[in-house]
């Protein structure tokens, strides 16, 4: 049964990839070209956009507050779970030399990272609405406005 579903999905793959590229591009262009979002959020370095088509990874210093705001606006973000696995006891034991090293980028991503979906079921209007919420949050934080 799963194979049958997979075969049907393969027929849709080129169109789904095209839609996801459009959505991802809209997020990037809208947010990077905005004076507030471009200063507030940390964007990924994009070497191969194809691996980012599931979601747009971003970082912000007020991640948990932002996630609450997104959810209040019926936007479901993803939380980045990409921390330093060498902090887990089993890996510390297995790889003691590596565990002694510092991995500041992994720590930063774990603390500040979140994901915004690029699902092919979204529309450009959906992306614009998500961007509007992200931009308003950035504007409020940059200028210390209580609420916009």
Domain that holds residue 139: 2-82+109-143
E strand residue ranges, 7-148 = 55-59, 78-79, 113-117
First and final CA of the chain: distance in angstroms? 49
User: Which pTM does this prediction carry?
Assistant: 0.83
Which pLDDT value is given to residue 145? 63
Which pLDDT value is given to residue 131? 98
Residue 93 in domain: no
Alpha helices in 33-123 (DSSP H): 37-40, 63-72, 89-94, 96-99, 104-112
Residue 42 in domain: yes
Would the pLDDT of 135 be above 90?
A: yes
Question: How many domains, in total, are found in the chain?
Answer: 1
Residue 92 in domain: no
Which pLDDT value is given to residue 30? 98
What percent of the chain is modeled with pLDDT above 90?
A: 52
Span 44-60, pLDDT tens digits: 887 776 776 788 999 99
Residue 97 in domain: no
Span 102-122, pLDDT tens digits: 888 878 888 899 999 999 999
- Asked if 22 contacts 124 with a C-beta cutoff of 8 angstroms, the reply is yes
Residue 96 in domain: no
Which pLDDT value is given to residue 82? 64
**Domain with 6 in it: what CATH number?**
3.90.1150.10
Residue 88 in domain: no
Span 24-42, pLDDT tens digits: 999 999 999 999 999 999 9
């Amino acid at each position: 049964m799963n194979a049958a579903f997979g075969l049907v999905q393969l027929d849709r793959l080129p169109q789904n990839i095209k839609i996801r590229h459009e959505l991802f591009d809209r997020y990037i262009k809208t947010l990077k070209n905005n004076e507030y979002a471009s200063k507030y959020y940390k964007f990924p370095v994009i070497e191969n956009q194809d691996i980012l088509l599931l979601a747009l990874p971003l970082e912000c210093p007020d991640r948990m507050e932002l996630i609450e705001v997104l959810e209040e606006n019926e936007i479901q973000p993803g939380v980045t779970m990409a921390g330093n696995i060498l902090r887990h006891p089993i890996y510390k034991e297995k790889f003691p030399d590596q565990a002694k090293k510092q991995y500041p980028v992994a720590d930063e991503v774990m603390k500040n990272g979140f994901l915004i979906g690029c699902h092919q079921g979204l529309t450009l209007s959906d992306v614009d609405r998500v961007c509007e919420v992200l931009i308003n949050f950035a504007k409020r934080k940059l200028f210390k406005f209580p609420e916009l």
